[in-house]
Amino acid sequence: MAKKKNVSEVKRIKALREEIEAHNHHYYVLDAPVVPDSVFDKLLQDLQALEEERPDLITEDSPTQRVGGAPLDRFETVVHQVPMLSLQNAFSDDELFDFDRRCREGAGRTSMTYMAEPKIDGLAISLRYENGQLTRAATRGDGRNGEDVTLNARTISSIPLRLVGKNPPRALEVRGEVFMPVAGFNRLNDQQRINGEKLYANPRNAAAGSLRQLDPKVCANRPLSFFCYALGALNGVSQPDNQNDLLDFFKNIGLPVNSISREVQGVDQCLAYYKEILEARSTLDYEIDGVVYKVSSFKDQERIGFVSRAPRWAMAHKFPAQEETTQVKVIEIQVGRSGALTPVARLEPVFVGGVTVSNATLHNAAEIDRLDVREGDTVVIRRAGDVIPEVVSVIKDRRKKNAKRYRFPEHCPVCGSEAPVDAGGIIRRCSAGLSCSAQVKESIKHFVSRKALDVEGMGSKLIEQLVDNGRIRSAADLFTLTQSELAKLDRMGEKSAANLISALEKSRATTLPRFLYSLGIPQVGETTSETLASSFGSLETLMKSSIDALEAVSDVGPVVAGGIRRFFDQNHNVLIINSLIKHGIFWDTTPTQFNPTGVFKDKTVVITGTLPSMSRDQARQWLIEQGAKVSAGVSKRTDYLVAGADPGSKLEKALALGVEVLDEEQLKALVRSELA
């Protein structure tokens, strides 16, 4: 009898799970619930009761397991198999017409079909399913690397733990948006207020803060939801032909999509959809800041290609920013790591576009003159693109009679050094360089940032404290800090000090591209740092390079080349570099044997994907030895793309530009043919 009872329990548990998931599908995917909440709650309670009796039958994909697991110490980093790209923005109808023209020309069509959808103001996320089961969830991060938030994502009811259907894909990576409905946001803030806790500024901040809780149980109690809209990777089933079919595919396997997304024909229907959604904005249960248009056909997307980290075939048409009036209390000057003097308006706090704004950028002296903004003025504030607070105009009728015209300083407000106008005639820069404490602080903050030497625990406040008390005057001084002296500083203790010393020790081992990026050379970002390291092979060669040699590098023009040369010509920069190396900063300096007459001489090559027998670093080094210039990004100057498994967007861009694509064997065959 006991055996029959066990079999009965197994069947009942299985049946309850299937029924609950079916109701979830009707509720979140089909937007057509078939039972009231009370019936659904009773089913879930019955399942919980049975699983308490038979804990050996509990599985990870059971609907009862959305309560969250044990708290985490930190989030692990996830490398996206296919980069999560950002979107270009349009703020006017003319920009939309230009976008449509470029898409039609790129695809060779007279009219274009687009998928139009609301641009939800949430947090981008990538979900990975293997054989139908959710195995990983990651935030967008910087597009290449995100944070593993799987435990938190599993608590969101609209994210299926298992796909529906008997033959799910072997692997599926889907991209979408986690958001907090407005009603849920209001309930959350009401509860925060009752508990005497910090209120969230808007639903987006609440969603981002909830998904990044280290304790999944906290996330489980937050009213989060999810819509998917894009494909990252798909294996085991045929890929749909267009965006519309893709959304249908998502729905059929149990993934929720936005029901008001739809296919439109041409730019006129895009504008009609935009106006329709703008009018309906206030009635939606979630916040949006515009609409997104995507070329529907995937073949047309391939023809149109990519620019930088954004697709040419997609655009976000942003809604007009919400504007409010407030008063300028004072205009202050901030000094950046390049010495640029940037004016900032300190404002009477005002709620604009969902957030409280107390500061707004004034950009430069020319912008202050154009606006004629003065301290004490009443101004119109806008969050341009619902992101960056800016002063739009001055309400001069409300200006006080004694308001004086603002005079932009000719000297650095921090160190008092002269701040002449730069070559462009717009920006004033402090002439003191790294003898100015403001520039020192900002340069060190950049040096320890995640994309540079990634010194975990070295925060802005600590850096400011160390510079202000004279303990450090350059990045090199960080490596002279001791655990005992760090432990005595504000907000520090023995454990924090020990962790920081350990992080500094770990950061000594780096790569040449990261080291170059950490130096903060003007206009030299991640990609250019990689290109410079690949092209010159060593720091010594780069530091001695001429303007002409620099300009010969892919993606380096006259302005960037001049900035690099001036940076290495400044004695204090050279002293800091030498000091950093003296303090143990190192990277692989194996000498490269060049073949200047090789088949790849003066050819620009990009590597993407996973190669069968070489790592990408090994392949890059090998190509350099053959005389190649190895670049980080595909452009019109690229001669070859070497593609391995899971090549991502670089392959699509190369095909769109007509760049010749080689696999590893074809790459080696070219060299063998030359040697034959």
Over residues 416-472, the pLDDT tens digits come to 989 888 766 788 988 887 678 888 899 999 999 988 999 998 999 999 999 999 999
Model pLDDT, residue 3: 43
Two structure tokens written together for 91: 């703020």
Model pLDDT, residue 301: 94
| Pairing mode of beta strands 314-318, 88-90 | parallel
Residue 466 and residue 279: Cα distance in Å, rounded? 52
Q: What CATH number has the domain bearing residue 34? A: 1.10.287.610
Residue 384 and residue 639: Cα distance in Å, rounded? 39
How many DSSP H helices and E strands does the chain contain?
24, 22
Q: Which of 491, 507, 523 is the last residue of a domain?
A: 507
What total number of domains does the chain contain? 6
Q: Which of 368, 398, 431 is the last residue of a domain?
A: 431
* HSE (side-chain half, CA atoms, 13 Å) at 557: 2
Based on the fold, state whether residues 184 and 99 are members of the same structural domain: yes
Decide: 256 and 226 in contact? Cβ < 8 Å: yes
Decide: 219 and 68 in contact? Cβ < 8 Å: yes
Q: Is residue 79 part of a domain?
A: no
CB proximity list for 187: less than 8 A, separation 6 or greater: 223
26 CB neighbour count, 10 Å cutoff: 15
pLDDT beneath 50: ranges in the chain? 1-5, 31, 68-69, 385, 592-593, 676
Based on the fold, state whether residues 610 and 575 are members of the same structural domain: no
Model pLDDT, residue 363: 87
**Torsion angle of alpha carbons 609, 611, 612, 616, nearest 10°?**
-130
CB proximity list for 606: less than 8 A, separation 6 or greater: 630, 631, 632, 633, 634, 638, 640, 641, 642, 650, 654, 659
Model pLDDT, residue 299: 95
User: Given 5, 14, 42, 119, which residue is catalytic?
Assistant: 119
Q: What CATH number has the domain bearing residue 650? A: 3.40.50.10190
Handedness of CA 173, 177, 183, 184 (dihedral sign): positive
Q: Is residue 596 part of a domain?
A: no
Residue 624 and residue 626: Cα distance in Å, rounded? 5
Three-state SS at 318: strand
| Pairing mode of beta strands 629-631, 604-608 | parallel
Model pLDDT, residue 49: 80
Based on the fold, state whether residues 313 and 326 are members of the same structural domain: no
Q: What CATH number has the domain bearing residue 489? A: 1.10.150.20
Q: Is residue 81 part of a domain?
A: no
Which amino acid would we find at residue 441? K
Based on the fold, state whether residues 279 and 190 are members of the same structural domain: yes
Based on the fold, state whether residues 125 and 210 are members of the same structural domain: yes
**Torsion angle of alpha carbons 408, 410, 415, 416, nearest 10°?**
-120
Q: Using the 8-state DSSP alphabet, how is residue 646 labeled?
A: S
Among the residues of 555-643, which ranges form H helices? 558-569, 571-582, 616-625
Residue 322 and residue 345: Cα distance in Å, rounded? 19
Three-state SS at 377: coil
Q: Is residue 76 part of a domain?
A: no
Q: What CATH number has the domain bearing residue 397? A: 2.40.50.140
676 CB neighbour count, 10 Å cutoff: 5
Based on the fold, state whether residues 189 and 206 are members of the same structural domain: yes
Does the active-site annotation cover 329?
no
Q: Is residue 198 part of a domain?
A: yes
Model pLDDT, residue 29: 54
Two structure tokens written together for 599: 């088949």
Based on the fold, state whether residues 409 and 465 are members of the same structural domain: no
Q: Is residue 597 part of a domain?
A: no
Based on the fold, state whether residues 268 and 362 are members of the same structural domain: no
Question: Residue 447 belongs to what H/E stretch?
Answer: helix 437-447
Domain that holds residue 420: 322-431
What digits encode the pLDDT tens for the residues 69-127? 455 567 888 888 888 888 888 888 999 999 999 999 999 999 999 999 999 988 999 99
Q: Is residue 588 part of a domain?
A: no
Based on the fold, state whether residues 246 and 349 are members of the same structural domain: no
Handedness of CA 156, 309, 89, 424 (dihedral sign): positive
Q: Is residue 587 part of a domain?
A: no
Handedness of CA 499, 501, 503, 506 (dihedral sign): negative
The separation between CA 517 and the C-alpha centre of its own chain, rounded to angstroms, equals 18
Among the residues of 396-436, which ranges form H helices? none
Strands (E), 513-628: 604-608
Based on the fold, state whether residues 287 and 146 are members of the same structural domain: yes
Model pLDDT, residue 32: 61
CA–CA distances in Å: residue 2 to residues 6, 7, 51, 57: 6, 9, 17, 16
Residue 211 and residue 223: Cα distance in Å, rounded? 11
Based on the fold, state whether residues 334 and 314 are members of the same structural domain: no
pTM of the model: 0.54
Based on the fold, state whether residues 299 and 381 are members of the same structural domain: no
The separation between CA 500 and the C-alpha centre of its own chain, rounded to angstroms, equals 26
Model pLDDT, residue 2: 43
CA–CA distances in Å: residue 128 to residues 18, 42, 63, 529, 672: 21, 31, 18, 32, 40
Residue 456 and residue 437: Cα distance in Å, rounded? 22
